[in-house]
């Protein structure tokens, strides 16, 4: 029997300088495969709004969707450290609502931590959620839920003044109670400095090799996305092309009546076809 990974295991990995492997995924089947691969942590990201539902931003993801997906991933990966992503407007309206929504990920979906895309305005929320006993990952750097205020995304902390601001923000997050940081699209020099300065685990999403762990979204790893992935994503397979080939082959076999064959069909028990014909015959005669 394997044992579920905890935050203590991940912190130990940081201290022992063992790199943490994380994947963002959204469904039972993928979670099972990710877990079989020995990945340490799964985030059920609100990128599901784009990669599962086909929206052009993460904003349309809502609590019910995120809780349902997180629960599905937990069923597929019972022992992996699981983080649920708090969607747009689930933690912005009031601290009370943030705690209630964060709690749903733990109680209804079996998550161990929630992720919040955080600015300095969310420090009070991070403190309150973590004081309620809910572990929080603060996501800083590029924050996709802020697309409406920034217009487009670019690498963060590429100049010294902005790097100083980000380092200070990271430290404030940890002081407010964040149990983990996720740095997205941050200059690698700055990500390395933050990782060395804070006592919590720091995960890089496109922020270079100097962090305690790395995360990519599963569809990018598998080479599946319909749209162009970000610069920092790396595909380890070409399942998009292979999947399209498989669907085309299926369509061809259905159209040529090659599928389904005998191997993929059920049959009546011995003698039952003849009995059925007799029953149909007597009904026909009775109706004449």
Residues forming the active site: 184
Q: Of the ranges 44-52, 166-174, 190-198, 279-287, which one interacts with ligand KIV (CB under 6 A)?
A: 44-52
Which H or E run includes 116? Answer: strand 113-117
Q: Is 84 helix (H, G, I), strand (E, B) or coil?
A: strand
Contact with ligand KIV (CB under 6 A) among 85, 90, 112, 138: 85
Residues binding ligand KIV: what is the number (CB under 6 A)? 11
Rounded-to-integer distance, Cα 80 and Cα 3, Å: 9
Smallest distance, ligand KIV to C-beta of residue 233, A: 9
CA distance 76 to 32: 4
Nearer to ligand KIV, 43 or 73 (CB): 43
213 binds ligand KIV (CB under 6 A): no
Give the residue, chosen from 5, 24, 130, 204, that forms a contact with ligand KIV under the rule CB under 6 A: 24
Q: For residue 46, state whether it binds ligand KIV (rule: CB under 6 A).
A: yes
Residue 90 binds ligand KIV, judged by CB under 6 A: no
Task: Give me the helix-helix angle, 188-197 and 160-176, nearest 10°.
Answer: 30
62 vs 259, beta carbon nearer ligand KIV:
62
Contacts of 152 (CB under 8 A, 6+ apart): none
Q: Are 188 and 215 in contact (CB under 8 A)?
A: no
Q: Which is nearer to ligand KIV, 240 or 259 (CB)?
A: 240
- What is residue 88's DSSP assignment? T
Q: Is 205 in the site for ligand KIV (CB under 6 A)?
A: yes
Q: Tell the smallest beta-carbon distance from residue 202 to ligand KIV (Å).
A: 13
The 10 Å Cβ neighbour count of residue 112 is: 21
Applying CB under 6 A, the span of 7-15, 31-39, 43-51, 127-135 interacting with ligand KIV comes to 43-51
Could you say which of 134, 136, 217, 221 contacts ligand KIV (CB under 6 A)?
217
Phi-psi region of 133 (alpha: psi -120 to 50; beta: other; left: phi over 0): left
Asked if 215 touches ligand KIV (CB under 6 A), the answer is yes
Q: Which residue is nearest to ligand KIV (CB)?
A: 45
Helix and strand element counts for the chain (H, E) = 12, 8
Which residue lies nearer to ligand KIV by CB, 85 or 187? 85
Contact 148, 58 (CB under 8 A): no
Decide if residue 47 touches ligand KIV (CB under 6 A): yes
**CA distance linking residue 145 with residue 115, whole number of Å:** 12
**Does position 84 bind ligand KIV by CB under 6 A?**
no
CA distances (Å), origin 57, targets 50, 53, 83, 144, 188: 6, 10, 20, 7, 25
What's the start-to-end Cα distance of the chain, in Å? 67
Contacting residues toward ligand KIV, per CB under 6 A: 24, 43, 45-47, 85, 182, 184, 205, 215, 217
């Amino acid at each position: 029997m394997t044992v579920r990974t905890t935050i203590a295991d991940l912190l130990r990995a940081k201290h022992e300088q063992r790199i943490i492997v994380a994947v963002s995924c959204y469904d039972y089947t993928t979670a099972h495969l990710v877990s079989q691969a020995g990945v340490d942590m799964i985030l059920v990201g609100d990128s599901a709004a784009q990669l599962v539902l086909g929206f052009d931003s993460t904003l349309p993801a809502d609590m019910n969707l995120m809780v349902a997906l997180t629960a599905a991933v937990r069923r597929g990966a019972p022992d992996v450290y699981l983080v649920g992503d708090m969607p747009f407007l689930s933690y912005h309206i009031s601290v009370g609502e943030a705690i209630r929504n964060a709690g749903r990920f733990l109680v209804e979906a079996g998550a161990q931590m929630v992720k919040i895309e955080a600015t300095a305005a969310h420090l009070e929320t991070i403190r309150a959620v973590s004081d309620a006993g809910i572990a929080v990952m603060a996501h800083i750097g590029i924050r996709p839920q802020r697309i409406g205020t920034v217009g487009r995304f670019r690498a963060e902390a590429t100049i010294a003044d902005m790097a100083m601001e980000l380092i200070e923000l990271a430290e404030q997050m940890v002081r407010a109670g964040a149990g983990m940081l996720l740095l997205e699209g941050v200059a690698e020099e700055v990500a390395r400095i933050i990782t060395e300065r804070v006592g919590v685990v720091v995960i890089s999403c496109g922020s270079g090799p100097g962090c305690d762990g790395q995360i990519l979204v599963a569809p990018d790893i598998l080479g599946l996305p319909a749209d162009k992935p970000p610069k920092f994503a790396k595909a380890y397979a070409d399942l998009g092309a292979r999947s399209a080939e498989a669907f085309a082959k299926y369509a061809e076999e259905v159209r040529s009546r090659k599928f389904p064959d005998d191997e993929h069909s059920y049959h009546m028990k011995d003698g039952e076809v003849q009995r059925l014909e007799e029953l149909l015959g007597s009904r026909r005669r009775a109706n004449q």
